Structure 1
Amino acid sequence: MKCSHCQNTFPKDSLQVCNDEGVELYFCCNGCKSVYFLLKENHAQSFYDKLQGSTLSPKEEKTSFSNSYYQSSSFREKYITTTQEGHSQITLLIHNIHCSACIWLNETMINKLEGVLEAHINYTNHKATITYDESKITLPDIIKLIESLGYGVSVGEQMGAKSQEEKRDFFIKLVVAIFCSMNIMWLAIAQYSGYFQGISSEYSLLLNIASFILCTPVLFFSGSIFYKSAFMGLKRGFVGMDLLVFSGSFITYCYSIYASLSGGESYFESVSMILTFVLIGKFLELKSKNSAGEILEALSSQIPQSLRVLREGQIYEVAPQEVRVGERIEVLVGERIVIDGELESKNALLDEVALSGESNPIAKIQGELLTSGSINLMQNITYKATKTFEDSSLNSLIKLITNASSQKPAIQEIANKISARFSQFVLVCALGTFCYYFFTHHPFNEALRIAISVIIIACPCALALATPISSIVGLSRAYQEGILFKQSKFLETLAKVDYLCFDKTGTLTCGTPQVIKELKFSSYNPALLEGLMQKNIHPIAKGILSYLSLPSTLQVTEVKIHSHQGLEAQYEREVILGGSVEFLRERGVEIPHLEGEGSVFAWSVAGELQSVFFLQDSLKPYAKEVIDSLKQKGLEMCILSGDSESEVRRIANELGIDEFYSKHSPTQKAKVIEGLRKRGKKIAMIGDGINDVLALSQSEIGISMADRNDLAIASSDIVLLHSDLHSLSQTFSIAQSTLKNIKQNILFSLLYNTTTIPLASLGYIAPIFAALSMSLSSLVVVLNAMRLKRVKL
């Protein structure tokens, strides 16, 4: 619901309702309400016409809502979804997060709550997906915990505005820090010049006072993101990078005040530059994170705020979430289809490159399905919604990508455990270093300077960054190539796979078998076979229909599908059977010995064999090259198929695959995979049909083609948006490159800390260079991860 003045969108329950001459008005705050009536009193309401859909910044911000609102039915209906297990799930934006340690802290504390089943925070946009049991915990309890940690929460329409505001506040802090640091360095140059050339104590004190004035806003304004987070973390017993940064700079600041008053050497410029370097590092990290998450942002931006829906002969603009199945939607030229549906206009020309990767426009005729994400190219069209917005292809894709970046690879859990204890270790090292130098008769300021260098140079953030930034870039690169990982942990799992199980039809082959030979045993009516095949969606049925090529004029009844064997129907009380030779023989049909290559389909009427068809499917383009490239990666493989032995053997020989299994049911396929796992193999199953669902779920990784069966896609872990087999080879390349990149980052982080901390302890690194070094270490990790964008596949 929009505020009547500022036009910003807010939950209806959070707005003030005001009745003005019979018209209901809604205001987000008293400021907007006052301005609205002030304009009315002065006859200046034409102001709203001139806005032309623009929004204003509200005078007063709605930062949070009451517990009763979070538990209201309207909030639940709009923002809380129910999982298949019956649990509640919500997506919240957690703001004031500025490093991966913040993400780790929030995830750890939320997951510890009784009743919270799972909580994941997306590294790039800081959106938390929380699944919880409402019988054990309420949403206000979860939000209360997050706020007690020092972080804020936004939901729904608030999230975009809050995210932008948070970025704006960070940039202001960064600008203040840079401005003050640039000026304080001029003062430092004057002080160092005076130190060597001689300067009176009065002028030295004056320069120290000026440095103090410039340093203070950097520490307490620009550096507030560190000390607030450090304080809230300490309240929960958590020691992180924020505490290291703030304690090092604050101790230096306090000592500099003492030194200025006692005539010693101050380090105000070091305090300012330490915080500025760290903030610049955070800025570069933020830019990289935005770049890594640009795929999700690009997809999300494709969803308009409203659609044109035809209701009772009139056009209404409603939110996509409010469109019901069966409603008619109008789409103008150049607009994007947001909800899947059935075309009502005579024809349409669509650009489907966003989802399928097909670069050429796709022509549709009346009655054909339109996929959300497509762009209308030719003329205004009308179509009927066949799904809700929640279930539409585009929204499902966005949710999958969001989910993918929220899930953590196993290797990240190891890095998180190390970094969680690392900060405590650093503080102990710093204290030990200070005590050693102080009690071995070194000057107090020297002992303090070395201890501060130890605190500042340590960088647990680089270690915590190592995995998530590489995973995000890897996921983005994969999507650009038409590959969708449902969770980022599957990147690591796939990289460790050493055995591939291929389904044949539709995976290695085109999935369109053609009749190459027919053996007739009786004179039959082709229309009867046509009527039988119309009841089956199997590729073999489609191949026979293509071979017969005539309209069906006969309708069979009482159709029964016998899974992976054949089908049974009736026509004028006569039983019709169609399927494999074994299926017909089991039903008492006499079939002679047959010789021929390819898949075999036989059919009978009233127990009498009519004819037998031999069909062959052709290999997908470049299938042999892709198989060879996978072998070069050290992968073993086999074919798991329900087709005849002769057909599976033919395909295996053409591809050079030694191991194959034919005439296998879904259960038998799953048993083969179980046997391979007992042999110590890590298996990826690549399939595309309903008969592959069990095998896909049994393997370590299930891979399916997006243009095939929806159930297979739902059961898989990786979806290839293009049917081109090159995507499969690229999938393994991306997974292996990403895991290698993660290991490089972790190794660098460990080497950096184990090298620089001893150097700082020996007094070789000044605090200001320690801050620069710490920021550069995080930047190196980020830049190394960004190399995945350019890796050759």
Structure 2
Amino acid sequence: MPSASEKHHAHQPTHEVELTLTGLSCASCVGRAERALAAVPGVTEPRVNLATHRAHLRLTDPAALPRATEALARAGYPAEPVHTTLEVQGMTCASCVGRVERALTALPGVSAAAVNLAAGRADITHDAGVAAETLAQTVTAKGYPAQLRADHAAHAGHLHHDDEATTLRRNFLIALALTLPVFIAEMGGHAVPAFHHWLMGAIGTPTLWLAELVLTALVLAFPGRVFFRIGIPALLKGAPEMNSLVALGAGAAFLYSTVVTLAPGLLPETARHVYFEAAAVIVTLILLGRWLEARAKGQASAAIRRLVELAPDHAVVVRDGIEARVAVADLQPGDLLRLAPGERVAVDGLITEGSGLIDESMLTGEPVPVTKSPGDAVTGGTVNGNSALTYRVTATGADTALARIVRMVEDAQAAKLPVQALVDKITRVFVPVVIGLALLAFLLWLAFGGGLAPAFVAAVAVLIIACPCAMGLAVPVSIMVGTGRGAELGVLFRRGDALQRLAEARVVAFDKTGTLTQGAPALTALATEGITEDEALRLTASAEIRSEHPLAAALVAAARGRGLPLAEAQGVQASAGRGLTATVDGKTLLIGNLRALQEVGIDPEPSLLDRATVWSADGATPVHLAVDGRHAAAFALADPVREGSAGTIRALHDLGIQTVMISGDVQATADAVGRQLGIDRVIGGVLPDGKLAAVREMGKGSVFVGDGINDAPALAAADTGIAIGTGTDVAIESADAVLIGGDPAGVVTAIRLSRAVMRNIRQNLFWAFAYNAALIPVAMGALVPLGGPQLSPMLGAAAMALSSVFVVTNALRLKRAP
């Protein structure tokens, strides 16, 4: 469990870098890449994610980035080229364009630069080790001020799995076309003796084996070369991984069969068998598994892709009274945009003209559209209803709410859960152990008289079946799908390890004001004597309209909510702590507390006094109205409980979780809200330091939910801090998870989702480890002395591919959670 100090440290500004790596295929690759990064001076906290193929690292020295990319390339996992867009000022002609392009392409690591004079933009393709700041400084030094352009193109990495799936599909189909003749010739002959005899009579064994050699060589040299290109160097460096196992298994089968074909005299006659079909089928099946895995991982990251694609590419901007359709990337804060009915909001802004409904379900998960009018904020990616609106841009690019959400989800997906540490320790030694077991199986078969061919088959089968792909994917792919699903439901995990801690929650503490309640007083009840409710409210609001007191604002809002016409008030006089007097429509009004009535000799009406007493006991503030010296009405003003609060508390109890409410209000008011909601324990009259102490007393498994600046220390101190998304930025930055909407029911969703993710991870880990524990002995031949079969390398390849696909497919079930 991270301490408050650790969380605080995590919030300090750091130079963080994210790279997309190639060549990752299993947990061993992840460990090797992380160790390569950790060995680079200036690099701290490297995290490599197998599911996203991304590496996150912190730099204490910006100059360490080129060294980090070099280390990754040497380890066999080079970073993909990066595409950066700069905004360039001061260019006036084609000569300027040429100077900028030459300055950029002269930089080491820059492979291409295209400058657009009209758009004032430079698009650069470069190595990941070249910092974007370096590019901007280079252009600026040439006399053309440049700055990094922040837009959604930065998230194009989410297409990575699609590109990977396309490449793997092509390689698989090529391998399949070359493998089928080999497979049919060998296995068809075993299954149908007549076919075997016909084939031997038609072309003969030597010719058949030569044809199989050529076809298998093509499989290994082209679609299968990735295993050798990565696996053999890793093996030679003493750090074998999954590709090394495939390269050893398929390569050994091919070389053994080649010796049998071209130099049979080197082997005893009983050992002259070819295994070309095993080598070819192993590669083909593993490529099939990787293709299916990449497709599934693409689905796993679909949530972020859908978020990124929500923002439209173009918008209608009004400049100098002229409307023009421009690219969203060219918008600037302050621009005025037209929003047609049914159109998506391009970027964040404030409504300036029109009113209507906006569908914000992509943000909050709530299906009911929200009414917007001038002055209200709109968020990029949300959908306009049937009204034409105009709004002014307040944020673009990486500063928009949508971009921040995407970054939060990406950061959570890149996190390593504590449970991952055990997996990393095991996989670090797993591949060397497997190679040792393969060698042991080979020697045991020879020692006990099994013969060279069966010994060879056993060794190859062990190498192939034990690939640790499923182990490496078990945790990160579940995190990927789970955090993506959370974003769809309006729950953002700012730190992925919050998933594991939240699943272990045993007590949830809520701040009251703004979290369980709406955060502002409102009229909750009204009683009258000798006057109608509407008339009492109209007179009161007419007198209070100029008051700045929150209770006065609540009364005025209630009157306007009923559509009551307000009159002009004369002679308004306020008395601190009592109320005010005024004349409205010729009637003398006194509005205030009970003491204000008694001080001027007005006798309270018993029925109204009784109602006010009940309201006070329930935590509301009574306000009384006297008209022409007679007690005429009483109003109950309180901070109303949010609509979903009571259901949230019941749902938490159903999950076996204790609930606590911590409030700065007096104990009586807090108790009234606690009774209304059914909260187990209520702590009132608490200052911010008191909230912090109360949370610390809860110990392990504590969750705190808040929305204000004064909640930030408690959010940081809790095992898991959850911020209401309508709250302050300080609260959100201190939290581990954020509820985008204001509904506290999101806490239940977050806990259910985290439990579903952890359950899914346990299932994946059990499958991955149990699969290897059960099948490695079978591949070694443990069943043969008992009359069982010896496992074929081809079946081992199929089982290995199935294992990875199973893990990813199981994780995809989280798309329907919780």
Q: Normalising by structure 1, what TM-score?
A: 0.75
Task: Please state whether the residue corresponding to 1:475 is helix, strand or coil.
Answer: helix
2:587 aligns to what?
A: none
Aligned residue runs from structure 1 range 128-527, under 5 A = 128-134=55-61, 137-150=63-76, 151-156=78-83, 166-189=164-187, 191-192=189-190, 193=193, 199=200, 203-234=204-235, 237-261=238-262, 262=264, 264-311=272-319, 320=328, 322-378=330-386, 381-515=389-523
Q: For residues 125 and 529 of structure 1, do their structure 2 counterparts lie closer, same or farther at Cα, with a shift above 3 Å needed?
A: same
On the 8 A contact 2:27/2:468 being kept in 1, the answer is no
On the 8 A contact 2:515/2:705 being kept in 1, the answer is yes
1:51 aligns to what?
A: none
| Alpha-carbon distance, 1:167 to partner | 3.9
For structure 1, which segment, 497-506 or 624-633, has the greater mean C-alpha deviation from structure 2 after superposition? 624-633
2:775 aligns to what?
A: 756
On the 8 A contact 2:703/2:722 being kept in 1, the answer is yes
| Alpha-carbon distance, 1:96 to partner | 3.8
CA distance in 1, matches of 2:330, 2:779: 60
Q: For residues 784 and 85 of structure 1, do their structure 2 counterparts lie closer, same or farther at Cα, with a shift above 3 Å needed?
A: closer
Tell me which of 586, 597, 614 is aligned to 2:617.
597
For structure 1, which segment, 399-408 or 616-625, has the greater mean C-alpha deviation from structure 2 after superposition? 616-625
Q: For residues 322 and 429 of structure 1, do their structure 2 counterparts lie closer, same or farther at Cα, with a shift above 3 Å needed?
A: same
Q: Count matched residues.
A: 657
Q: Structure 1: which amino acid aligns with 2:806?
A: V
Which string of whole-angstrom CA distances, capped at 9 and with x for unpartnered residues, describes residues 294-314 of structure 1? Answer: 111111122344555445566
1:687 aligns to what?
A: 706
CA distance in 1, matches of 2:70, 2:338: 44
CA distance in 1, matches of 2:205, 2:188: 9
| Alpha-carbon distance, 1:362 to partner | 3.7
Q: For residues 325 and 314 of structure 1, do their structure 2 counterparts lie closer, same or farther at Cα, with a shift above 3 Å needed?
A: same
| Alpha-carbon distance, 1:478 to partner | 2.4
CA distance in 1, matches of 2:460, 2:723: 54
Task: Please state whether the residue corresponding to 1:386 is helix, strand or coil.
Answer: strand
Q: For residues 656 and 303 of structure 1, do their structure 2 counterparts lie closer, same or farther at Cα, with a shift above 3 Å needed?
A: closer
CA distance in 2, matches of 1:152, 1:188: 41
Q: For residues 775 and 115 of structure 1, do their structure 2 counterparts lie closer, same or farther at Cα, with a shift above 3 Å needed?
A: same
Task: Please state whether the residue corresponding to 1:153 is helix, strand or coil.
Answer: coil
Q: For residues 259 and 741 of structure 1, do their structure 2 counterparts lie closer, same or farther at Cα, with a shift above 3 Å needed?
A: same
On the 8 A contact 1:470/1:785 being kept in 2, the answer is yes
Bigger relative CO (Cα 8 Å, ≥ 6 apart):
2
Q: For residues 737 and 349 of structure 1, do their structure 2 counterparts lie closer, same or farther at Cα, with a shift above 3 Å needed?
A: closer
1:674 aligns to what?
A: 696
Task: Please state whether the residue corresponding to 1:134 is helix, strand or coil.
Answer: coil
Which string of whole-angstrom CA distances, capped at 9 and with x for unpartnered residues, describes residues 310-335 of structure 1? Answer: 45566676664554322333445544
Which string of whole-angstrom CA distances, capped at 9 and with x for unpartnered residues, describes residues 65-84 of structure 1? Answer: xxxxxxxxxxxxxxxxxx97
Which structure has the larger Rg?
2
| Alpha-carbon distance, 1:203 to partner | 0.8
Task: Please state whether the residue corresponding to 1:178 is helix, strand or coil.
Answer: helix
CA distance in 2, matches of 1:176, 1:407: 36
Which string of whole-angstrom CA distances, capped at 9 and with x for unpartnered residues, describes residues 394-441 of structure 1? Answer: 111111111111111111122122112111110111112212222444
For structure 1, which segment, 639-648 or 376-385, has the greater mean C-alpha deviation from structure 2 after superposition? 376-385
| Alpha-carbon distance, 1:196 to partner | 7.7
CA distance in 2, matches of 1:333, 1:438: 78
CA distance in 2, matches of 1:300, 1:222: 33
| % identical equivalent positions | 27
On the 8 A contact 2:442/2:459 being kept in 1, the answer is yes
CA distance in 2, matches of 1:551, 1:778: 73
CA distance in 2, matches of 1:432, 1:210: 33
Q: Structure 1: which amino acid aligns with 2:59?
A: Y
Which string of whole-angstrom CA distances, capped at 9 and with x for unpartnered residues, describes residues 330-368 of structure 1? Answer: 445544323211223334543322113343444433332
Task: Please state whether the residue corresponding to 2:358 is helix, strand or coil.
Answer: strand
On the 8 A contact 2:161/2:295 being kept in 1, the answer is no
Which string of whole-angstrom CA distances, capped at 9 and with x for unpartnered residues, describes residues 15-41 of structure 1? Answer: xxxxxxxxxxxxxxxxxxxxxxxxxxx
CA distance in 2, matches of 1:164, 1:470: 19
Q: For residues 306 and 105 of structure 1, do their structure 2 counterparts lie closer, same or farther at Cα, with a shift above 3 Å needed?
A: farther
Task: Please state whether the residue corresponding to 1:664 is helix, strand or coil.
Answer: coil
CA distance in 2, matches of 1:245, 1:343: 60
2:664 aligns to what?
A: 642
Matched, 1:774 2:800: yes
Q: For residues 546 and 643 of structure 1, do their structure 2 counterparts lie closer, same or farther at Cα, with a shift above 3 Å needed?
A: farther
| Alpha-carbon distance, 1:250 to partner | 0.4
Task: Please state whether the residue corresponding to 2:704 is helix, strand or coil.
Answer: strand
Which string of whole-angstrom CA distances, capped at 9 and with x for unpartnered residues, describes residues 732-751 of structure 1? Answer: 22111211121121122221
Matched, 1:716 2:735: yes
Task: Please state whether the residue corresponding to 2:391 is helix, strand or coil.
Answer: strand
2:557 aligns to what?
A: 546
Task: Please state whether the residue corresponding to 2:475 is helix, strand or coil.
Answer: helix
CA distance in 2, matches of 1:726, 1:184: 59
Task: Please state whether the residue corresponding to 1:754 is helix, strand or coil.
Answer: helix
2:122 aligns to what?
A: none
Q: For residues 374 and 624 of structure 1, do their structure 2 counterparts lie closer, same or farther at Cα, with a shift above 3 Å needed?
A: closer
CA distance in 2, matches of 1:745, 1:491: 16
On the 8 A contact 2:40/2:67 being kept in 1, the answer is no
| Alpha-carbon distance, 1:270 to partner | 0.6
Supply the RMSD in Å over aligned alpha carbons.
Answer: 3.7
Q: For residues 165 and 788 of structure 1, do their structure 2 counterparts lie closer, same or farther at Cα, with a shift above 3 Å needed?
A: closer
| Alpha-carbon distance, 1:460 to partner | 1.4
1:747 aligns to what?
A: 766
Q: For residues 598 and 113 of structure 1, do their structure 2 counterparts lie closer, same or farther at Cα, with a shift above 3 Å needed?
A: farther
| Alpha-carbon distance, 1:615 to partner | 3.3
Tell me which of 545, 548, 551 is aligned to 1:533.
548
Gaps of 5+ in 1: 1-82, 555-565, 567-579, 582-593, 604-611
Task: Please state whether the residue corresponding to 2:492 is helix, strand or coil.
Answer: strand
CA distance in 2, matches of 1:231, 1:506: 60
CA distance in 1, matches of 2:553, 2:291: 57
1:18 aligns to what?
A: none
CA distance in 2, matches of 1:774, 1:553: 82
Which string of whole-angstrom CA distances, capped at 9 and with x for unpartnered residues, describes residues 70-110 of structure 1? Answer: xxxxxxxxxxxxx9745433443323434454444334422
Task: Please state whether the residue corresponding to 1:343 is helix, strand or coil.
Answer: strand
CA distance in 2, matches of 1:444, 1:194: 29
On the 8 A contact 1:191/1:207 being kept in 2, the answer is no
On the 8 A contact 1:530/1:548 being kept in 2, the answer is no
CA distance in 1, matches of 2:680, 2:810: 40
Q: Structure 1: which amino acid aligns with 2:707?
A: D
Q: For residues 365 and 513 of structure 1, do their structure 2 counterparts lie closer, same or farther at Cα, with a shift above 3 Å needed?
A: closer
On the 8 A contact 2:666/2:684 being kept in 1, the answer is yes
Task: Please state whether the residue corresponding to 1:95 is helix, strand or coil.
Answer: coil
CA distance in 1, matches of 2:326, 2:70: 34
On the 8 A contact 1:530/1:552 being kept in 2, the answer is no
Q: For residues 442 and 195 of structure 1, do their structure 2 counterparts lie closer, same or farther at Cα, with a shift above 3 Å needed?
A: farther
Q: For residues 785 and 213 of structure 1, do their structure 2 counterparts lie closer, same or farther at Cα, with a shift above 3 Å needed?
A: same
CA distance in 2, matches of 1:735, 1:166: 29
CA distance in 2, matches of 1:699, 1:270: 55
Q: For residues 749 and 123 of structure 1, do their structure 2 counterparts lie closer, same or farther at Cα, with a shift above 3 Å needed?
A: closer
Q: For residues 517 and 297 of structure 1, do their structure 2 counterparts lie closer, same or farther at Cα, with a shift above 3 Å needed?
A: closer
Q: Structure 2: which amino acid aligns with 1:132?
A: L
CA distance in 2, matches of 1:113, 1:433: 39
